[in-house]
Amino acid sequence: MVTKQFTGSPEDADLARADSLAREIFADLANKWALLIVEALGDDTLRFSDLRRGIDGISHKMLTQNLRMLERNGLVERAVHPTVPPRVEYTLTEPGRALRETVAGMCDWTSRYLPHIETARRRFDT
Amino acid sequence: MVTKQFTGSPEDADLARADSLAREIFADLANKWALLIVEALGDDTLRFSDLRRGIDGISHKMLTQNLRMLERNGLVERAVHPTVPPRVEYTLTEPGRALRETVAGMCDWTSRYLPHIETARRRFDT
DNA sequence: CTGAATCCTAGCTGATACTG
DNA sequence: CAGTATCAGCTAGGATTCAG
């Protein structure tokens, strides 16, 4: 995942492809908006605008962009109800919910170590 | 963590500060280089150049930049040995190792769902 | 309401060169 | 070896506007 070992041998081709794909996916998901969306969706089914209200500071553009990416990677399911006005609902898929658990772990980590980080920063900023 | 609820009441001030700090930290850490560094460090103590070799594709600049950030937030400890040539070693602190577990979960998730994602992408890209 | 496209800016990023 | 500074290219990201 982190390192790449190329021996040049032919049977490494598949591993190399899988590794570069893993990296690509990791780069897709390891950004704050994507993770916050996954966290915000949780077990709910939310409309675009609800999601937007739910994630503080996210712009219209970033939300659509990341939702597309998450949909493309199969983490989010998009259900369009052809009414007027249109109603589009987003839900985490099973892989999405699985990832959400690790994201939740990251959020827990943040609140848990918040004091430690605050003091570490003060010490460093001198 | 994800949402902000401002009622304007005075006792919310602390909560609001903590929340914005949490967001800042989350934004710091939710980027691929930071997470890959945490993962690469693991339980080891590594020199700058070893770390650089260990993380495929990272530039000198991104590595120093992210190491500083991680050090500032107290995730990484930096030990300078005043020899010549200089020898600088990096190790995860306890909070760093704690975060590393969730990062490991994310890596596991990636390799586990790689096939699913690959097919999801093919379906989407049509 | 949802979403696409455009423009525009700030900031990230890599490459390179220089210091201790 | 480790770190810093500088420069140039590019991309992320916001604001706005138009369409279905």
Residue B11 is assigned to a structural domain of this protein: no
Residue A61 is assigned to a structural domain of this protein: yes
Is A14 at the interface with chain B, CB within 8 A?
no
Q: What is the mean pLDDT of chain B?
A: 92
CATH number at residue B116: 1.10.10.10
Span B45-68, mean pLDDT? Answer: 96
Domain that holds residue B39: 18-125
In this complex, the answer to whether residue B62 has its CB under 7 A from any atom of chain C, a nucleic strand, is yes
Residue A9 is assigned to a structural domain of this protein: no
Distance CA(A77)–CA(A96), nearest Å, equals 9
Query: What are the strands, taking DSSP E only, across A4-123?
Result: 45-47, 76-81, 87-92
Condensed to tens digits (0 to 9), the pLDDT of residues A32-69 reads: 999 999 999 999 999 999 999 999 999 999 999 999 99
Q: Contact A99/B109, CB-based, under 8 Å?
A: yes
Q: Contact B36/A2, CB-based, under 8 Å?
A: yes
Q: What is the Rg, in whole angstroms, of the alpha carbon atoms belonging to chain B? A: 19
pLDDT at res. A126: 86
Number of domains, chain A: 1
Can you give the distance from the CA of residue B61 to the C1' of nucleotide D8 in angstroms?
15
Instruction: Tell which wins on pLDDT, A13 or B64.
Output: B64
Residue B47 is assigned to a structural domain of this protein: yes
Can you give the distance from the CA of residue B125 to the C1' of nucleotide D17 in angstroms?
28
Span B36-52, mean pLDDT? Answer: 97
Residue A12 is assigned to a structural domain of this protein: no
pLDDT at res. A8: 65
In this prediction, residue A95 has a pLDDT band, given cuts at 50, 70 and 90, of very high
Residue A4 is assigned to a structural domain of this protein: no
Residue A10 is assigned to a structural domain of this protein: no
3-class secondary-structure state, position B82: coil
Condensed to tens digits (0 to 9), the pLDDT of residues B82-114 reads: 999 999 999 999 999 999 999 999 999 999 999
Residue B6 is assigned to a structural domain of this protein: no
Distance CA(B86)–CA(B12), nearest Å, equals 48
Distance CA(B109)–CA(B126), nearest Å, equals 25
Can you give the distance from the CA of residue A1 to the C1' of nucleotide C9 in angstroms?
35
Q: Within 7 A of a protein CB, which nucleotides of strand C?
A: 1-6, 13-17, 20
Condensed to tens digits (0 to 9), the pLDDT of residues B15-35 reads: 777 778 999 999 999 999 999
Taking the mean position of all CA atoms in its chain, how far away is CA B53?
A: 18
Q: Model pTM?
A: 0.94
